Amino acid sequence: MPKPPVKPPSLRSEIARRAVEAGLAGWFAATALSQHPNATLDRLRQYDRFGMLIPNWRFFAPNPSRHDYHLLYRTLSTSGDQSQWLPASEIVERTWTQAVWFPRRRESKAVFDLCSQLALYVGKMGEHVPRSVPFRLLRDFVRRHIQEADPAAWPTVRGFQFLIVQYSGHDHSEAPTYLFTSQFIPVAAPAPARQDAPAQAQQEETAA
């Protein structure tokens, strides 16, 4: 018995198939080119707005990271007392559960990237470093950490400084390098509580 003739694919399904093939081929090419040491090829990542489509596997090449950064801060109270240097970021001990759920990894990676970027700006921008994006992000990160670490003491904080230290991790034979110390950053005083209209009118009548 002869087999029934195979129905050729429709034009619409053929176009869809070719479009999927072209998209996957382009994705593969963009991923492969983005791993090249030449930084000009990183322009392809501007089309990946969420940073999830084009992976980056160049962490250990061509220049492997051999140091880590430690972000410290100290505060100045309204009474003039200055605190010791305290950590604003710390390395969390790894556990097996972090293979499944480790949201703080994003925070530590962001601090690492900001510190390394700011270290590059120190030699290029000079006194204009406080205008840079890495400086402002680290400043706001430290300010939020101080406020959340001790909310009760936050109203007494007049200002703070932050310090970036580069160290070699587990190799204690190498002395840490102090890369950048910010200037004194004042903390804006909270606005005074606004009195309600009746109470304010009563005070004005009493004063009169």
pLDDT tens for each residue of 183-199 = 999 987 554 545 454 55
Cα–Cα distance for residue pair 24/144, rounded to 1 Å: 42
Over 50: is that where the pLDDT of 35 sits? Answer: yes
C-alpha distances (whole Å) from 80 to each of 77, 120, 149 are 5, 33, 20
Cα–Cα distances (Å) from 127 to 48, 68, 73, 130, in that order, read 33, 25, 20, 7
pLDDT digits (tens, 9 = 90+) for 134-179: 999 999 999 999 999 999 999 999 999 999 998 876 666 778 888 8
